[in-house]
Amino acid sequence: MLPDFANRHYHSTFTASSKPDRRPGRSLSRSPGEARYLPDQAQYGSGIVPRPAWSPILSSHLDPALHQALSEAIGQATGRRADVERATMIGGGSISRTLRIDSDDRCWFVKLNDPALADMFAAEVDGLSALAVCSALRVPGVVGHGVAGRHAWLLLDHLALRGLREGRRGADAGRALAELHRIEGAQYGWHRDNYIGRTPQFNAPHASWPAFFARRRLLPQLDLARRLGHHGKLIAAGERLADKLPALFADHRPPPSLLHGDLWSGNAASDETGALVLFDPAVHFGDRESDLAMSELFGGFPDSFYAAYGESWPLADGFERRKILYQLYHVLNHLNLFGGGYLLQAERMIARLLAEIGG
């Protein structure tokens, strides 16, 4: 069930106490869990953006270079001289530190990370810009981003958000997502690579969806799992599944829809008007079913959301089988981020898919 965060403001990730539970040993499918809160025992191997070391940031003090950069960005956005009057640490995941800053009579949302990870914010800005093309939904406005002193920073509008619930808000969100998915690209993929959590996500375009998913999604996660020490059945069976993936799509040729890419319940909400708000994207063009498959993880969305989506754009036969494949990508990513707690679940999903296609 989605945490009650009515009247809360925009956070890129929920506080650890209210996140859906992604800890090892917890089932991913429609179960409560934690967003991007990585336990201390998480694995940080090659291929995953390293967890940064942070020094405390006092609410009354910002690094001078960062203070100046944020003040200048706000000034450019508002058209008048601005100064950050107060910075307050707020809850978030372990990917980035998050602050609320106040300037004059307005407040803003800031994400901070190591300067070497500035590309993560550039990818996020690119994704938010892509989603903003869809008039049926809303994204937080980007005020600016860059590197200042010891920090890479991303400055966003501070939005008052409410959770998606049953009834009209959930239904409106389902219809809005269907409108997003009607935006199509020429091929599967994206014009740049981006990130799924802290893991690089490769998006070189391809004309074939099964080939794209095998080469840009399954195989990179399997390769990362191998480098993190997972061998044996997982790798052998996973690579066999990647080879046989076209059989799963014999009767399914989806259009390359614009996808959020990381659409779990912690990355969506509604604003004060009831409009769907999306954030923390991992955008690309792909099968719209993969967004819906991801949406069922970590508690899922309201039933009214799925009913309205289906009325707007019914799903093709075979979705329940393909859903396992799309969720497998995220299970493998969590295996690589969190460790062995997801190993058995990934192996079972691969075995079920191979059994379905005679592998």
Whether 262 is catalytic is: yes
Q: CA 213: distance to chain centroid? A: 17
| Neighbour tally for 84: CB within 10 Å | 20
Catalytic residue among 114, 172, 262, 291: 262
Structure tokens at 31: 């179960």
Structure tokens at 221: 């996660």
| Neighbour tally for 61: CB within 10 Å | 10
Contact predicate 293/327, CB 8 Å: yes
Local structure of residue 140 (DSSP, 8 states): P
Close Cβ partners of 29 (under 8 Å, ≥ 6 residues apart): 296, 297, 327
Q: List 8's β-bridge partners, or say none.
A: 161
Which of these, 186, 188, 166, 189, lies nearest to 307 by C-alpha position? 166
Local structure of residue 50 (DSSP, 8 states): P
Contact predicate 265/278, CB 8 Å: no
**Alpha-carbon torsion (306, 357, 234, 203), positive or negative:** negative
Residues that are catalytic: 262
